[in-house]
Amino acid sequence: MSTLHRSKKSQARPVRKGLHPRNLHNQGYDFPALVKSHPALAPHVKPNAHGDLSIDFADPLAVKTLNAALLNRYYNIVDWDIPEGALCPPIPGRADYIHYMADLPGLEQHSIKLLDIGTGANGIYPLLACQIYGWQCVGSDINAQSLANVATIIANNPTLKDRFTLRTQHDKNHIFEGIIQAGEFFDVSVCNPPFHASLDEALKGSQLKLNNLARSRGERKAKTKSPTLNFGGLEAELWCKGGERLFLKKLVRESQVYSTQCRWFTSLVSKADNVKPVKKLIRKLGAVDIREIEMKQGNKITRVLAWTFI
């Protein structure tokens, strides 16, 4: 069991940003402490327009270095890195997802087995689940380059070796098939689905994010000549034919096939308009419990859908 595990009965610190009570990032970023544990972050830390220490969240290298510092200081993960262009996840939000999964009925015990669908080059959900709760994790992906990068992270952190394994999805038309093996049982599956229907849509979404960041700094518009994926994202990580809704419907339909081999199926849903039709399909396919979990960080609200046939 990881020493970082926090008992659910332990007293939570005061919540300021709306994160889960057990989330270690409720008080924001302690930049001096992060720089001390990860000196590579130092060049990226500067006072912002409000006089507070921060980084330029529109700078991919700064965001990646902040992630490496957070994983080092709070989760004892060293040498975390991702290839250029890979999706760079916000650690506090990803930790929130794992904490809320730990609250689902039947997941109170310690010997939990988690499946991450589309673990990407960052492997973030299994990394956090292993370090926070000591869970056994499997990460699957269709991209060999992504899996090779996560394998390097695991090799750099020997305590993960027996707790985090990787599997390749060889068929882009399947999600669980070819990954969940005969006679195997998972307690929970997690997923951060591709939310755009095309590269063009992904670039437009990234430009909007950059403009929002610029406005928060007091600028009218982001200073970029062409749209860039500032938080990264390889093809399978950011877009797929039909976008998020079609992917989620495929995920739900295939979950029914493996209904006796996983207690809770879950997924992030980034577009609020997709929640209602996806819940309707889950009900139609016979799930006995459906939960819509709201996660808040500052003004941002994201949702997780969780359903079970057991």
Q: What is the pTM of this model?
A: 0.82
**pLDDT reading at 212 higher than 70:** no
The chain-wide mean pLDDT, for the chain, equals 85
**pLDDT reading at 91 higher than 70:** yes
More confident residue, 302 or 11: 302
CA 224 – CA 188 distance, rounded (Å): 41
Contact 156, 184 (CB under 8 A): no
More confident residue, 91 or 211: 91
Least confident of 113-117, 119-123, 205-209: 205-209
Check residue 104 and give its pLDDT.
97
CB proximity list for 9: less than 8 A, separation 6 or greater: none
b/e sequence 72-96, b meaning 16+ C-beta within 10 Å: bbbbebeebebeeebbbbbbbbbbb
